[in-house]
Amino acid sequence: MAVSIKSPQEIEKMRIAGRLAGEVLDFIAPHVKAGTTTGALDRLCHDFISQELKSTPAPLNYAPPGYQPFPKSICTSVNHVVCHGVPGDKKLRAGDIINIDITVIKDGFHGDTSRMFYVGQPAIQARRLCEVTYECLWRGIDSVRPGAHLGDIGHAIQSHAEARGYSVVREFCGHGIGRKFHEEPQVLHYGRPGVGLRLESGMTFTIEPMINAGKADIRQLADGWTVVTKDHSLSAQWEHTVLVTHSGYEVLTVSAGSPPPPAAHAGTHG
């Protein structure tokens, strides 16, 4: 497994790309409301990324092996959509939860992040799922330090989710990121402590747990991209791009409007 160790110059470019990705989520937040279509959110983000940030939306026409090119600039995953929701004519309704996933390319480097948004007032169960998933993200982030293992991240996420009656999607994972959208390593959101790749300072990767209110089983829709829960239960996801530092971690996709870490988390920043 060839995992790239970023130079100080590359890390600085990753910081910029990461912050810009977060700023797209800040920008789109006030537009997430009942009656707005996911296609309208996509157009707003596309124009903001290309015109205001002078950057490129990485998902647009992205085509990994076996996939048709992704037709939009962002992913919008509503309610029981797990990930890779394709923006379109679907109108948001009061009570919906939606994940908006942003990846920008700036000066040759990628920044990748996603957030959950509430459309009006969600049901208590929906809000709880989003909150626990956010806690899972930060449990994973707090496991990052030189000498730790990828399995430590997955275990922290899995144990927190399952203790609360939720399930972890296993078919999709976090990933290394830098000059390429997806690099090594794969960052699983389940696992055993002390297992897997040993983390080193200078690694950059995403942590992006997808947590289901029901069973973990998923299926892909006919568009070739959109992934939904098989049992139609709600799903939530949060994502940050993380740098392993000499003494801990640095979250690269934090922006002015990023929600603060959960009060219970106790991280080791580098």
Q: Domain-by-domain residue ranges, the chain? A: 8-251
Q: How does residue 2 score in pLDDT terms, banded at 50, 70 and 90?
A: confident
Q: What is the pTM of this model?
A: 0.96
Read out DSSP for 240-256?
EEEEE-SSSEEETT--T
> Residue 42: pLDDT above 90?
yes
**Helices (H) then strands (E): counts for the chain:** 4, 15
List, for residues 149-183, the tens digit of each pLDDT value: 999 999 999 999 999 999 999 999 999 999 999 99
**Amino acid, res. 113:** T
Residues present in the chain in total: 270
**Amino acid, res. 262:** P
Average pLDDT over residues 43-71: 97
Cβ-proximal residues to 214 (8 Å cutoff; 6+ apart), any chain:
167, 229, 231, 232, 233, 234
Structure tokens at 230: 């098989």
The CATH architecture assigned to 8-251 reads Alpha-Beta Complex (3.90)
d(CA 134, CA 261): 8
Strand partners, 227: 83, 220
The pLDDT score that the predictor gives to residue 265 is 56
The pLDDT score that the predictor gives to residue 263 is 79
Q: Could you tell me what percent of the chain has a pLDDT over 90?
A: 96
List, for residues 114-142, the tens digit of each pLDDT value: 999 999 999 999 999 999 999 999 999 99
d(CA 185, CA 158): 19
> Residue 31: pLDDT above 60?
yes
Do 204 and 16 meet the contact criterion of CB atoms below 8 Å apart? no
Q: What angle do CA 19, 259, 191 make, to 5 degrees?
A: 85
Do 268 and 249 meet the contact criterion of CB atoms below 8 Å apart? yes
Structure tokens at 266: 């106790």
Average pLDDT of the chain, as a whole number: 96
The pLDDT score that the predictor gives to residue 268 is 43
